[in-house]
Amino acid sequence: MGMFDYVRPAEPVECPSCGLDLFMFQTKDGGRDLRVIPESTLSQQGIRSFYELCPGCHGWIEFTADPPQARACTGSLMPERLVCREREPIPGYAMSFRAPEKP
Ligand SMILES: [Zn+2]
């Protein structure tokens, strides 16, 4: 009946833009009953992606399971979506960052 589950990374994930530590993400790939899914069981539970809005800079941080486009990293923060594979805070999942929309 819930809307999403929580994903708890083994280590806090640092926002690539403002450096704030993020301790919890949301996913809609689980049972959506507000459970907390530890990082160690993500693939067993079929979690393909999870995400969070950074409270520090309002950028959108998303993790996606092994997407083919995530092979390279531009190395700089662009207004458009950045997918970076060099730093992989959560093994098996590529982190992407999208800066907040300008008003
Ligand atoms: Zn941030």
Grouping H, G, I as helix, E, B as strand and the rest as coil, residue 69 is: helix
Q: Which pLDDT value is given to residue 87?
A: 57
Q: Is the pTM of this model over 0.75?
A: yes
Neighbouring residues of the ion ligand 1, judged by CB less than 5 Å: 15, 17-18, 20, 54, 56-57, 59
Q: Which pLDDT value is given to residue 90?
A: 87
User: Ligand 1 centre from 10 Cα, in Å?
Assistant: 19
Over range 48-67, report the average pLDDT: 91
User: Ligand 1 centre from 41 Cα, in Å?
Assistant: 26
Q: Which pLDDT value is given to residue 100?
A: 86
Helices (H) and strands (E) in the chain, counts: 0, 9
User: Ligand 1 centre from 99 Cα, in Å?
Assistant: 9
pLDDT greater than 50 at residue 70: no
CB 17 within 8 A of CB 97: yes
CA dihedral (21, 27, 31, 33) in degrees, to 10, reads 50
User: Ligand 1 centre from 18 Cα, in Å?
Assistant: 4
In angstroms and rounded to an integer, the radius of gyration of the C-alpha atoms of the chain is: 13
Q: Which pLDDT value is given to residue 49?
A: 95
